[in-house]
Amino acid sequence: MRGELLSGVERRRRWSLQEKAQVARASWEPGACVADVARRFEVTRQQVYDWRAAARRGEFVGLERSAGFVEVIAAPADHAVQPSSPGVAEPATPDAIVEIAVKGGRSLRLPASAPTAELMRLIRAVEGA
C-alpha cells in the first residue's frame, strides 16, 4: 500500500468576527470587486457575500461597516452647495433636508431632525433593495 503525506497550510480556516468584518468592509470600499477581495483574503466569493449579509444583519456588533468619515455640508433644500474647506459646514436650519447617497445611485432625502435610528433603518432598507 502506498500513502501520500500532504504538507503545508491546512485549507480549512477559522475566521474571527473581526476578520470577517474586515473582509466585508474591504468589499464595500469604493471600486472594490468581490472577486478581487476574495482572492486577496483567500476565501470564496460566497463567503464574502455571506459575511456582508451578516454585517448588514448586525452580527458583527461594534464592527459594522464603516469606511471612514465623509464631509457633511448642511444647506437649505433649494440651495446648491459647493464644498468650502474640508470638515467645515454651516449650521443646519430646523427645516434643512439631508440627502444621503447610497449604493446603486440611489439617494435618501430626509429632514435633518430625523432620529438617527430611523435614518439607519432607512439606509439599510434602501441598500438592501
Q: Which domain holds residue 112?
A: 71-129
Residue 12 in domain: no
At residue 104, the pLDDT reads 65
CA 118 to chain CA centroid, Å, is 17
CA-based nearest residue to 69, from 91, 89, 87: 87
Residue 3 in domain: no
Among 33, 56, 79, the domain boundary falls at 56
Residue 129 in domain: yes
Residue 75 in domain: yes
Q: Tens of pLDDT along 62-89?
A: 554 444 445 555 555 555 555 554 444 4
Percent of the chain with pLDDT over 90: 16
Residue 6 in domain: no
Domain count, the chain: 2
- Tell me the average pLDDT across 107-129: 78
Q: Tens of pLDDT along 9-67?
A: 666 788 888 899 889 988 988 888 999 999 999 999 999 999 998 888 888 765 544 44
Residue 5 in domain: no
- Tell me the average pLDDT across 108-129: 78
> What is the spatial distance between Cα 53 and Cα 17, in angstroms, rounded to a whole number?
13
Helix (H) or strand (E) holding 124, with range, is helix 116-128
